[in-house]
Structure 1
């Protein structure tokens, strides 16, 4: 059983709110009447900085999402300022095979014993969800957690296998938490965008737009994703456990079983929506450069 959940008068917290999807959703939440939005990020774009200085109900808090204490601090700030915990939790912080933590270049030393990529994309949304449930139960009120995943969460990505694995994890976690709406009064959903025009592809590390040859023709806007997040949160049409996809073709709920690739027509992607061949070739070249250097090293 699901229920509608208006943003009006609610306290919202967004990780990764300093730019991109997170910032777009934070602004939309304010437009929809949120009481206040707390954005947590390691930094803000100039655009975000200007907006925060102009809006008293938009609060920035430095947050390294790999540090669980930083995630809890976002909730503590809400309690300190409003004597209440947030009602809506959006985990939008994420990275895409960054230079400091990726599969093919493998920059992290053996003593790291883990990929920071996974800490950001998997451990962060999982822990954020647990903290949200604990906070909402503590105040005995309903709430919504929206986790930003990706279409890569149910597709293969040879050039970006850790990213794909992390997004698969978020999809599986979201499905597993579907019953939290009925049992704890906390709706947990996931939004799965296609390729979005955000700093990940432009100024973000490692400048993946250039590295992978992303072109404007296949991008969707962060505002389109923000609207889908908002719809997922507010509408009773999307119960806990929902995987809500958004692409250039629109939105759809991804079924648990027998999923078809997005937008298939007669077994093929419609023109203008598939990844161009030159992008695939370009994304493979850095991998081949790395692995060719490793060939025969142990002989």
Structure 2
């Protein structure tokens, strides 16, 4: 049991950070393909607002601070509010992120309790994935999560160590959930863009780092190029759970190897894998079909 080919037509997608940049480009493509989309973001750009108005209720907006788990937990309810009482999202894009901002960085070190950058870039995709799995399992339907990471998730950079750490975290998380595709009909994949012409690099707050990272348009790819690769990863069955794809200048659609810790080659390895995975499988079995069985259903968090 694997998700396989998963066309977006007539499906519902939730996109965090969908108000601008790469994720807005994905929203446009998903809508053009025939999907309904919930944008979960702090605010909308004028372009996103105009798109919602023109969508004839096929695109909706929910205010969402992805570092606030109560906002993330509310997203299944926001889907039903936008698209009907039985609506359950099929595709979840963990797209919101920040790049080593001065208010949350290793060098400024100005925060008292934690690096909020880690909450946004690493914890939010993990929590969103858990919410998405519970929602889809409850409705007993397949689902897909795509996490927007970065090429920094497989390299390091002395200038932005917390950012790199956050992206390494979600790359490891994606690899770890590869088995969910086979076990639960739920696919988790990850895209790793290089420099992209988005507000992350072109906005007012980013101008100070242009010289530091030699930012110019000629080393960048467009948000649309990344969004097209995201669509491919979501819809095409050749990208199985745990897949990683690098998208950068000169390396469009560069699929990376994803290694699981347990490789089943015979009965002994299968026995060990089953032993390791059974506690996880037991929880997911209890959540499957919960909506039909009268439990909390898609709203269970």
What interval of TM-score do these two structures reach, taking the shorter chain for normalisation? 0.7 to 0.9
Contact 2:3-2:185 within 8 A present in 1 as well:
no
Gaps of 5+ in 2: 260-301
- State the 1:208 CA deviation: 5.3
Contact 2:136-2:143 within 8 A present in 1 as well:
yes
Gaps of 5+ in 1: 258-299
State yes or no: 1:93 paired with 2:119.
no
The residue aligned with 1:270 is none
Q: Distance in 1 between matches of 2:44 and 2:210?
A: 22
Q: SS of the residue aligned with 1:220? A: coil
Q: Distance in 2 between matches of 1:130 and 1:157?
A: 29
Q: Distance in 2 between matches of 1:208 and 1:70?
A: 31
* Structure 1 length-normalised TM: 0.82
Deviations 1:145-172 (A, max 9, x none): 0000011000111101011010000100
Superposed CA RMSD in Å reads: 1.4
Q: SS of the residue aligned with 1:47? A: helix
Contact 1:151-1:194 within 8 A present in 2 as well:
yes
Contact 1:95-1:200 within 8 A present in 2 as well:
yes
The residue aligned with 2:157 is 157
* Structure 2 length-normalised TM: 0.81
Q: How does 1:1-299 map to 2 (within 5 A)?
A: 1=2, 3-34=4-35, 36-55=36-55, 56-80=57-81, 81-82=83-84, 83-108=86-111, 112-203=112-203, 205-207=205-207, 209-210=209-210, 212=212, 213-249=214-250, 250-256=252-258
Contact 2:17-2:41 within 8 A present in 1 as well:
yes
Contact 1:64-1:70 within 8 A present in 2 as well:
yes
Q: Which structure ranks higher in relative contact order (CA pairs < 8 Å, sequence separation ≥ 6)?
A: 2
Q: Distance in 1 between matches of 2:198 and 2:245?
A: 19
Q: Distance in 2 between matches of 1:62 and 1:204?
A: 22
- State the 1:60 CA deviation: 1.0
The residue aligned with 1:286 is none
Q: Distance in 1 between matches of 2:66 and 2:127?
A: 9
